[in-house]
């Protein structure tokens, strides 16, 4: 199958603000991004740049910094590199309809040969993100089912739940509800993806000027 064909087939770019494939690689060539996505279910999309696309996994519970915790990661279709900049609303009724946040972003360093390791179903890499750092592994168990596990390294492990302690966007510092409010999404639905006790947006429909989010 040609690269990104499944990505294109699932989307109508006249309806969604998601990017059509354009850029072939980032400056580093080793981009990673985690997008928190309140669609029909809340999940975290974990993406690693490989051979001009973002290899992607949907992680329902999000990453854990605790090496004893194995998080289910379902492999999904490759995404274009430009997708790493996408934060906003996918219209209801479209594929993945809901609110998307750039939860973490940075670069990664492969700990071995990524392309052949992908085929074997075992990827080892070090993350240089804002929230996620240190050594990680993605290992395939069966079919599209993988596990995302933090490797033991003294500096970056923790038993604290980073999805609760650090729930905001790394590029705009917004909550899911704030993104929905700013961009005309479903605020009540988005808010169910934010941890309880976070302040809710006071004003709906407020358009804020966003800072440049370029990771290029
Ligand atoms: Mn998703």
31-59 tens-digit pLDDT: 999 999 999 999 999 999 999 999 999 99
Ligand 1 center from residue 96 Cα (angstroms): 6
The pLDDT tens digits for 138-158 are 999 999 999 999 999 889 999
Give residues with Cβ within 8 angstroms of 6, minimum separation 6. Answer: 77, 78
The residue with tokens 């670069």 is 107
Q: Label residue 7 by pLDDT band (50, 70, 90).
A: very high
Residue 18, CA distances (Å) to 11, 142, 178, 197, 208 in order = 9, 30, 19, 30, 19
State residue 3's pLDDT score: 81
Strand, coil or helix: 84: helix
Q: Kindly list the protein residues that place their beta carbon closer than 5 angstroms to ligand 1, a single-atom ion.
A: 37, 45
CA dist., res. 47 & res. 17, Å (int): 19
Ligand 1 center from residue 66 Cα (angstroms): 23
Considering the entire predicted model, what is its pTM?
Answer: 0.90
Ligand 1 center from residue 41 Cα (angstroms): 9
| Angle, CA 73 vertex, CA 72 and CA 75 arms, to 5° | 145
Q: Quick one: average pLDDT of 93-106?
A: 97
CA dist., res. 152 & res. 154, Å (int): 6
Ligand 1 center from residue 154 Cα (angstroms): 31
């Amino acid at each position: 199958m040609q690269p990104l064909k499944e990505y294109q087939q699932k989307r109508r770019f006249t309806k969604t603000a998601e990017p059509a494939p354009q850029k072939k690689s980032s400056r580093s060539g080793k981009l990673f991004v985690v997008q928190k996505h309140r669609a029909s279910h809340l999940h975290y999309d974990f993406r690693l740049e490989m051979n001009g696309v973002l290899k992607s996994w949907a992680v329902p519970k999000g990453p854990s910094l605790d090496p004893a915790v194995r998080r289910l990661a379902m492999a999904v279709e490759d995404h274009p590199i430009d997708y790493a900049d996408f934060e906003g609303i996918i219209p209801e009724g479209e594929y993945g309809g809901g609110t998307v946040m750039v939860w973490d972003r940075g670069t990664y360093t492969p700990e071995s040969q990524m392309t052949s390791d992908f085929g074997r179903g075992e990827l080892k890499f070090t993350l240089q993100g804002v929230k996620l750092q240190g050594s990680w592994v993605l290992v395939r168990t069966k079919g599209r089912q993988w596990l995302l596990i933090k490797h033991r390294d003294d500096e970056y492990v923790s038993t604290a739940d980073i999805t609760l302690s650090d729930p905001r966007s790394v590029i705009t510092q917004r909550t899911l509800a704030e993104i929905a409010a700013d961009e005309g999404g479903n605020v009540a639905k988005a808010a169910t993806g934010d941890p309880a006790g976070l302040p809710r947006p006071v004003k709906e429909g407020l358009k804020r000027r966003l800072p440049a989010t370029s990771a290029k």
